[in-house]
């Protein structure tokens, strides 16, 4: 009995110790870019934005989940938001893209999950939306569901994500600190050969440039030559694609960009394009088998699009193109840092068929960053 209690106590202390060791890029003194970050350095720094996760870790082979991003806390179907989607590389199964591109708006929470659970993501999102007060007569819902393939660690063919898991992720959505790493849709993902996951970051523009906030959340599951704040980490660790015939770089990355700047769909597509620049700065190469999608939306109340109205014209002042460059820069910086945070906050994971993906070896990474002046 004493030995049993000791083992439990040791496990508890070990778990706490590991949790305390997890640090984000900023905690190590890594300053990515030059712009100020938001208070939480998260997508939830954008007022009203909520994020929820449903994490599925069961037995030896289920390592997956769902992440929901809500642009505002109201009925999104009744108060739609301007949106755009940019395809960096289209080897993916993003649902709902054509209506967003055609109408330029978003009418549901954004859902992220694994490749074969996209249909369940649609079903759960539609059921959630139909159940909201005010939607009793709604008969068409455009659910936006993104994915990456977590089949190396997860029994993806088992299709373990359920409709209730999707609804739970939405209902779990909160403002405040966003859990990162092996959570939600990032539970079974792999990036640059290491454990990837969910990551987030934000930038806050000075009042002279509008005081707007740009927040980014990523689901990292892609390859390339890892670069952290300009330091060639992947090269130094000799962990990169095509080093031999075995290593590959295929994978995907879902990127969600939200801002309270009053932007229309055309401008949001311009913003979404810049997120791919942030991905490139981390060493991502948008490989042949990669599904790299950016979903961008404006949460500005003045830009909301009512489902039903007697007005013939949309109203709301739209930011002039001349003032977009600072938002572009904020998007690039926040995307780059969100990707790095997804790696820093991830933990080693063992899954299907005994496959194990190691977390980023910080004991090796930090000296490399110091060597190249990428850390204070």
> What amino acid positions are annotated as catalytic residues?
252, 290, 292
CA proximity to 252, closest of 282, 220, 214:
220
Listed in sequence order, the DSSP H helices in the chain are 2-21, 97-103, 118-130, 163-171, 233-237, 265-281, 325-344, 362-371
Q: By the 8 A CB rule, do 286 and 255 touch? A: no
Q: Sort strands 349-350 and 356-357 into parallel, antiparallel or unpaired.
A: antiparallel
Handedness of CA 111, 115, 119, 123 (dihedral sign): negative
DSSP code per residue over 186-224: GTT-EETTEE--EEEEEEE--GGGT--EEEEEEEEE--B
- State the Cα–Cα distance between residues 335 and 216, nearest whole angstrom: 6
**Encoded tokens for 251:** 């994978």
């Amino acid at each position: 009995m004493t030995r049993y209690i000791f083992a439990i106590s040791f496990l508890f202390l070990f778990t706490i110790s590991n949790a305390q060791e997890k640090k984000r890029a900023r905690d190590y003194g890594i300053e990515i870019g030059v712009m100020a970050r938001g208070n939480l350095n998260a997508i939830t720094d954008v007022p009203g934005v909520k994020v929820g996760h449903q994490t599925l870790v069961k037995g030896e082979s289920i390592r997956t989940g769902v992440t929901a991003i809500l642009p505002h806390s109201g009925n999104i179907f009744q108060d739609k938001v301007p949106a755009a989607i940019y395809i960096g590389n289209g080897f993916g199964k993003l649902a709902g893209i054509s209506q967003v591109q055609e109408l330029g708006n978003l009418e549901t929470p954004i859902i992220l999950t694994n490749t074969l659970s996209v249909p369940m993501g649609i079903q759960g999102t539609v059921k959630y939306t139909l159940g909201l007060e005010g939607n009793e007569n709604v008969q068409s819902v455009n659910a936006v569901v993104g994915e990456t393939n977590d089949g190396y660690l997860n029994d993806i063919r088992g299709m373990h994500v359920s409709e209730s898991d999707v609804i739970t992720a939405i209902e779990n959505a909160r403002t405040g600190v966003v859990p990162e790493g092996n959570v939600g849709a990032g539970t079974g993902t792999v990036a640059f050969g290491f454990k990837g996951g969910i990551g987030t970051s934000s930038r806050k523009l000075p009042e002279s440039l509008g005081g707007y906030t740009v927040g980014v959340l990523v689901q990292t599951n892609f390859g390339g030559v890892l670069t952290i704040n300009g330091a060639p980490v992947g090269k130094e660790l000799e962990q990169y694609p095509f080093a031999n015939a075995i290593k590959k770089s295929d994978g995907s990355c879902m990127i969600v960009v939200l801002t309270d700047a009053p932007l229309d769909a055309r401008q949001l597509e311009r913003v979404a394009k810049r997120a791919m620049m942030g991905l490139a700065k981390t060493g991502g190469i948008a490989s042949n088998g990669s599904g790299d999608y950016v979903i961008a939306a404006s949460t500005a109340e003045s830009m909301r699009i009512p489902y039903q109205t007697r007005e013939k014209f949309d109203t709301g002042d739209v930011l002039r193109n001349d003032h977009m460059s600072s938002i572009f820069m904020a998007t690039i910086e926040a995307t780059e840092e969100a990707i790095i945070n997804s790696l820093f906050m991830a933990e080693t994971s063992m899954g299907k068929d005994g496959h194990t993906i190691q977390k980023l070896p910080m004991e090796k990474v930090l000296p490399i960053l110091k060597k190249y002046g990428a850390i204070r």
